[in-house]
Chains A and B, each alone.
Chain A
């Protein structure tokens, strides 16, 4: 990303992907992307990165840890 345009664009990519950028800024970004395959690849893979992480599953609190937590808090463990 040697061009200054690319550096400026980089700072705006999250707001662009989240639809928070102004219409003018969007037009400016899209004009740049049309002529800059490197930035286009960064935008595409940044979007994919965000989507991938949105689907990252969470863990249940392990049974033993849950039991110990409720014991420490002096509360009755409810059934799962």
Chain B
């Protein structure tokens, strides 16, 4: 038996025990996934308070729904779908009546992309993110500026490392939509980081939007 099959068997056994209400099995599931769910929620909601509420709701819903889990998808995919829905519900409550995009919003499926404004090249070192608190905060703010439908795709694909197929399953959208939204999110983040780098270069305005007309 391959290691992969072995893991699948372990997971099935764990789920079966959890479905019988075995506290240790439930605890193992929560322990394995709480960090991912919390980080996704933190970036979707933008503050620790709402992220914590989302974390609790995700696992409360999951434990309630677990007896009906049929194993058609991986447990993580199933859980992350619950987490994604909990994030969107939390965002709706935050917006309290404001217009919200939904995940099946066709607008984001346009395959035209806004033309770039910044053509400045900038250099980064591999450990810049770890060392530079300001850069990290600019990067986090940039994520927060993405429309929700793009943000949640970007978080699962580029931050949590899910595949295109897994992200599509988690969000209940097509793989094509995942690719288009991911690309659109990355282009927007590139603009925001380029803006930051252009502005942070003392006295330099080269490469900014004014040069884009060239």
Contact = CB atoms under 8 A, between A and B. Distances in A.
Interface in A10-67: 10-11, 13-15, 37-38, 41-42, 44-46, 48-62, 65-66
A50 B185 CA distance: 10
A11 B193 CA distance: 19
Given A11-B183, A56-B129, A69 B48 contact: no
B38 A53 contact: no
Interface stretch (B85-93, B101-109, B110-118): B110-118
Given A44-B121, A76-B27, A58 B35 contact: yes
B159 A46 contact: no
A61 B126 contact: no
B30 interface: yes
A21 to B, nearest CB: 12
A65 B27 contact: no
Contact of B158 (A6, A41, A54, A69): A54
A63 B135 CA distance: 26
A35 B189 CA distance: 25
A3 to B, nearest CB: 10
B111 to A, nearest CB: 6
B14 to A, nearest CB: 14
A-B pairs with lowest CB-CB distance, top 4: A14-B183, A49-B190, A1-B115, A38-B119
Given A70-B30, A73-B30, 18 more contacts: A10-B115, A10-B116, A10-B187, A14-B183, A38-B119, A42-B116, A44-B121, A45-B118, A45-B120, A45-B121, A45-B122, A48-B193, A50-B158, A52-B129, A54-B158, A60-B35, A65-B55, A69-B30
Interface of B: 23, 26-27, 30-31, 34-35, 38-39, 42, 48, 51-52, 55-56, 59-60, 63, 111-113, 115-116, 118-124, 126-130, 135-136, 139-140, 154, 158-159, 179, 182-183, 186-187, 189-190, 193-194, 207, 212, 214
